[in-house]
Structure 1
C-alpha cells in the first residue's frame, strides 16, 4: 500500500467459520488497523484437489478479492489462483486460516511470482493435537482402552493378584524413560517435544525436510523411517498427508513395530495402510491409539471397532473451542506484522510446496 487508507482485509468462508472462529477481541484488534469484510462461500475443498467452483461463483469471488489488500481463505473458499491474483491489483497478502495446510485453496507459486505474501496459520491446532497425542501415548502404555471396554461391559474387576495374571493387565507401562519415535517434525511435533521433556524420553524423529541443526537444538535424533518404526516403545504419526506420504506406513513398516509397542496416529488416516494395521493388531502384540482412520467415519462393521488393544477417538485432536479462535488470532498477528512492515512468521514458501508434492 502506498496511500494512507486502512488496508482492506476480507475473509472468504462458510458462515460457520465466521461464527465460530472469530472472537470479538481479535476482530476489534484487526479493525484498529484494517477494514474487514466477510463474504460467504461454500465450496468443497479436498487436500488433493482444488475446489470445484462454478463460473458464476468464481466471478463473484474475483470481484470480492479484486478490491482487497489481503484475503483470508478457509473452509468454503474458492481457490485463489492466477485469474484471481491477476484481477486484484492491490492484493499483497493471502492467508490460509485453517483446514488442512496442504489444501489447494492458494496457488502459492503464482502468489510468489506476483510478489504476494502467502501465510498459513493452520498450526493453531498444534496445541490441542500435541496434548491429545500425549494423552494417547499414556492411554496406550496403560492399555486403558481395553480396561474401559471391560468396565462398560460390566465385567468383574478382580483382585490385584488376579489382574497380574491377565493379558490386559500385563500391558501396563509408564512413559518415563521410554524411547519415543515421531514421524514428522512440524509444529505439532515440536510442541509435543516440549510436553515430553518431564518424562525424560529418548526421541527418534523421521522427517526428510528437517535440518540436523534443528535436531540438535530440540534434543532429538534424526533418523530413518525404519529406525523410528522399529526401535521405539511408542511411535507417533504426525506427518501431513501429501502424495508422498499417502500409504507411507504400509505392511512392511507396521511389521517393524516391536512387540509391546504403542502406535499413535493423530495426523491423517490415509498415511497408514488400515488393513495392514488391523492385521498386526489382531495378533495382539501391539497397541494402537487412533484419532484418525482411513476411511472416515470408520465403517460400522470395521474390525478396528472391536479390537481390545485399540483406543479410538473420532478425529477430535485438533478440535477445541480455543483452537478455533486461535487460528484467527494468529492471522490477525500476521496481518499486523505485514502491514506494519515487519516479516511474517508463518510463510508458505517453495520449500513448503515441495513438501506438499512429496518432493
Structure 2
C-alpha cells in the first residue's frame, strides 16, 4: 500500500515518547509516511515563539517535501519561509502548546492555502473535570476542613445540625468563556440540571440552541450561584475580572478559575476573598507559582491547586491521538474539525 500523505513531525526529542503513543503512530502509518526532526527551539511554549533564522531554515528544509507538518514543544515557529519552501503542504498542525500561542503564522498559512489545525483542546476533558470538582468543593465549603488534615479535633455536630454545604443540582452556573472546556463542562453538568449562562463575545450565538446555554454580559454572569472562569490569556482578557466584577459575586457564591491567573486582578481577588462571604476554587494564579506569603494560602474559604487541571496521564497522549483523527479526516476528504479560523484568530486578541 502506498502512503497517501507525507507527514513530518518536529518536536523536542525528549518529549516525543510522552506525547506519541505507538498505537496512534501505527494508526497514522496506515495513511502516511512519517518522519521526525528534532528541535529544541527557545521560548515560552505557552507564548510567542521567537524566530531563530538557523532553526527557521532547518524547519523549512524538513518541510519542503511534506504534505503535513506537525509541531509541538521544542519546534520552531512555522513562518512564511517554511510555507514558501513547502509547496505541497496541505495542513500544518500544533499538537500541544496553547491554542492562543504563537507557534504558527496563521496569516502566512492562509496566504499559502494551508489549513491550520490545533488539537491543544485535548486537555479540555481533565480541565472540565477539575472545574466540576472545584465547584462541588466550593459549594460544600470543603476548604474549611483543612483543620482536619492539620490534625485538629473537630466536632461534627455543628455540620450535622446546621450543615453549611450546598448541592450543585439546580444551581445557575455562569461561564466566562465558552470554548472546548465550556462545551465539555456543559456535558458534565447535564445530570445536575443546572441552567447555564455564558459570557463569550466570540462564540457563535447558534451555540445557544445547539448547546442549550444562554449568553449574557460579563456582569450578568458574575451574579450567578457558581461562576467558572474559562477565558484564555490574551491582551484583551488581562485583568478582565477586577474589583467591580468580583463585587458582583453574591453572598454564598462560588468562584472557580481553571483558565489563566492573569485574567483575574489578584489584588481585587484577595480583597474579595477576605470578605469571607464567598467561596473560591483556584487552579490558576498570577504569578505562578502562587507566592508563599500570599494571603490566599491561609483563607478557609479558598481551595487551591497548582495549575494542574489539565495535567493527567490520559490527556498527554490524547493531543496526538486527536491530530491523527484529523489526518484521517483529511485523507478521507473530510474537513478537520479543530481548524484555526478567522473567529479563533480574533479571539486571540492579537
- TM-score (norm. length: structure 1): 0.93
2:285 aligned to which of 278, 287, 293: 293
Q: 1:329 to 1:161 in 2, by over 3 A?
A: closer
The gaps in structure 2 that reach 5 residues or longer are: none
Alignment partners' CA distance in 1, 2:5 and 2:210? 39
2:186 aligned to which of 193, 217, 221: 193
Could you give the per-residue CA deviations for residues 120-179 of structure 1, whole angstroms, max 9, x where no partner exists? Answer: 1111111111111101100010111221x11122111214147756xxx63x11101111
Alignment partners' CA distance in 1, 2:329 and 2:93? 13
1:219 corresponding residue in structure 2: 212
How many correspondences in the alignment?
Answer: 349
RMSD: 1.7
1:56 corresponding residue in structure 2: 54
2:65–2:88 Cα contact (<8 Å) kept: yes
1:99–1:122 Cα contact (<8 Å) kept: yes
Q: 1:76 to 1:48 in 2, by over 3 A?
A: closer
1:208 corresponding residue in structure 2: 201
2:320 aligned to which of 328, 352, 357: 328
The gaps in structure 1 that reach 5 residues or longer are: none
- TM-score (norm. length: structure 2): 0.95
2:41–2:55 Cα contact (<8 Å) kept: no
1:124 corresponding residue in structure 2: 122
1:19 corresponding residue in structure 2: 17
Alignment partners' CA distance in 2, 1:162 and 1:200? 26
Q: 1:123 to 1:208 in 2, by over 3 A?
A: same
2:46–2:97 Cα contact (<8 Å) kept: no
Could you give the per-residue CA deviations for residues 83-110 of structure 1, whole angstroms, max 9, x where no partner exists? Answer: 1111112211100111210110011111
The answer as to 2:175 corresponding to 1:182 is yes
1:268 aligned to which of 260, 265, 277: 260
Alignment partners' CA distance in 2, 1:135 and 1:38? 39
TM-aligned CA deviation for residue 49 of structure 1: 5.0
Alignment partners' CA distance in 1, 2:247 and 2:338? 37
TM-aligned CA deviation for residue 47 of structure 1: 7.4
The answer as to 2:154 corresponding to 1:153 is no
1:181–1:235 Cα contact (<8 Å) kept: yes
1:45–1:105 Cα contact (<8 Å) kept: no
2:4–2:331 Cα contact (<8 Å) kept: no
Spell out the pairing of 1:1-359 with structure 2 (5 A cutoff): 6-46=4-44, 50-147=48-145, 149-161=146-158, 170=164, 172-230=165-223, 232-357=224-349
